[in-house]
Amino acid sequence: MEKEDLLTDLTSGEIAYLWMMYQYETMSKCGLLYFLRNVEDRETKELLEEGLGLSNKRIDSIKEILTKENYPIPEGFTNSDVDLKAPRLFSDVLYLEYILNTLNLELTEYNLAYMEAVKLYIQKFYVEVIQDTLELEMQAKELAKDKGIFIKIPRIPTPKTIEYVEKDSFLAGWFGGRRPLLAIEISHLAFNAKRNALGQAVITGFSQVAKSKEVRRFFERGREIAGKQMEVFANILHDDYLSSSSIFRTAEVTDSTEAPFSDKLMMTFITTLIGSGMGNYGSAMSMSARRDLGVQYTRLMAEIAQYADDGAEILIKNGWMEQPPMAADRKGLAK
C-alpha cells in the first residue's frame, strides 16, 4: 500500500463500490456453485469454474481492503442462500448466456468503480478486476459463437459516400418522413431486446420456485413486463425490416419447482438486473436522435422503475435488504 494511501480515509465512492461489489460477488458465487453442480457441457463448465475463481479472489481482496481500512465487512450472501442439492432449473445454454451478460454488467460497473477510486492500491485492484473480466468475457463470447447461440445484431449496408444531415426530419419519429434507424439506435434496440429475453427466462424460473406467494406474484409480473418490453424493441426493428436479434429463452427453463436459491437472493438478483436495465435504457436514450425512441425509452424506464420500487419494498418488509453505506444523520444527531 502506498504511504499516502494510509493517511486518507476511504471516499464515499470507494466505500460504495466496494460494498456493492461484495454484495454482487457473494451473490454470483452462490449462483456459480449451483450451476457447477449440474452443468453438462465441458467447455461451459470450465468457463463457470473460471468465473467462480474470480469471484472468490475478489471477495478475498475486498475483505482484505476493508480490514486494512477498519471498515466493517458486509454480510452479503452465504451458503444459506443456495441449495446445491436442488434439481436443475436452467439449461447449459442459459448458463452460458447468463455468464456472458453478467460479464457485460460487470465491465460497466467496475469501470465506474475504477473512476471513483482515489487510493492507488484500490485503482490497481480495479485494473486487475477489469482485465480479468475482459479476458473471461472474450472467452465466453467465443464459446457462444462456437456453439451457435450468440446472435449478432442486424447488419446494415456500407455507405458509398459521406453525407450530412440536411433536414430536421432526422429528429422526427411520429408523423411522416420518419428516417430509418441509425446504426447506434439499432445496436441499443437489439441489445435491450436480447437482455429482456434473458431476463424473462430467468424470472420465469424464479417464479416456479419462489417460496413466498408475494415473491412469486412479483416474478410473474416481471415475466410479463420483460415479454412486453422485448416486443416493443422487436416491433421498432421490424418496422425497418430488421431482425430483433432476440430469441425466447423460456424453453431453457426446466419444470422444477424446488428452489435452488433463497427468495432473498432471487429478489436481489432481479432488482440488480432492473437497475442495470434502467442504466442501459438511459444510455440508449441519450444516443437515440429520433424523438419517438426517446419517448419509448422514457415510458419503459418508468415502468421498470415502478417495478423495482415494488421489489425494494418486498426486500425491506422481509428484512432482506442489507443497508448500504450512508452519510451521518446530522439532523437526527442534533436532536
CA 189/CA 202 separation, integer angstroms: 20
Mean pLDDT of the chain: 93
pLDDT by residue (tens digit) across 167-194? 766 777 655 567 899 999 999 999 999 9
pLDDT reported for residue 323:
95
Please, what sign has the CA dihedral across residues 192, 195, 200, 201? Answer: positive
Write the CB contacts of 325 (distance below 8 Å, at least 6 apart in sequence): 12, 15, 16, 19
Q: Which helix (H) or strand (E) holds 241?
A: none
In this prediction the pTM is 0.93
Q: Give the Cβ contact number of residue 61 at 10 Å.
A: 18
> Exposed, middle or buried, 290 (CB in 10 Å: 0-12/13-18/19+)?
buried
Q: Is 283's pLDDT higher than 70?
A: yes
Handedness of CA 39, 244, 133, 55 (dihedral sign): negative
Name the grid cell of 260: 435452488
Domains and CATH numbers, the chain: 8-146 (1.20.1260.10), 172-317 (1.20.1260.10)
pLDDT higher than threshold 90 for residue 64: yes
Considering the chain, what percentage of its residues have pLDDT values greater than 90? Answer: 83
pLDDT > 70 fraction of the chain, expressed in percent and rounded: 96
- The secondary structure of residue 8, as a DSSP letter, is S
| Residues contacting 97, CB < 8 A, separation 6+ | 144, 149, 198, 249, 252
CA distance 324 to 13: 12
Is the distance from CB of 225 to CB of 305 less than 8 angstroms? no
DSSP 171-238: T--SSSSPPPPPHHHHHHHHHHHHHHHHHHHHHHHHHHH-SSHHHHHHHHHHHHHHHHHHHHHHHHHH
Q: Report the 10 Å Cβ neighbour count for 237.
A: 21
Amino acid 1: pLDDT:
55
Type of residue at 283: S
Average pLDDT over residues 78-98: 97
DSSP SS3 for 90: strand
Check pLDDT > 60 for residue 2.
no
pLDDT for position 65? 96
